[in-house]
Amino acid sequence: MDSKESKNDAANKIEEPVASSKVQTAAEHHATVIQHLNRGDTESAVASLMVDHSSGRQLSYGESRMMYG
């Protein structure tokens, strides 16, 4: 296989579906963030904010800002 084929394979790769256990409703997601904050675990709260609750996909900083303001 040459590098050209490798690049095409990477471009055509389909993202694997996220496990359903990571998908939450917006209310559940917000409750999780609040639980982290109530425990004083700011790092986990911020990490939770960087995940799309509807898909479980990791968000970029810009996507997170657009979602939460």
Give the pLDDT score at 50.
Answer: 93
Short-list 28, 16, 32, 24, CA closest to 55: 24
What does the pLDDT look like over 3-38, one tens digit per residue?
555 555 555 555 444 444 567 888 998 999 999 999
Question: How many angstroms separate the CA atoms of 51 and 29, rounded?
Answer: 9
Q: Global pTM?
A: 0.60
8 Å CB contact between 18 and 57: yes
pLDDT band at 59 (very low <50, low <70, confident <90, very high): very high
Among all chains, which residue has been given the structure tokens 């479980």? 56
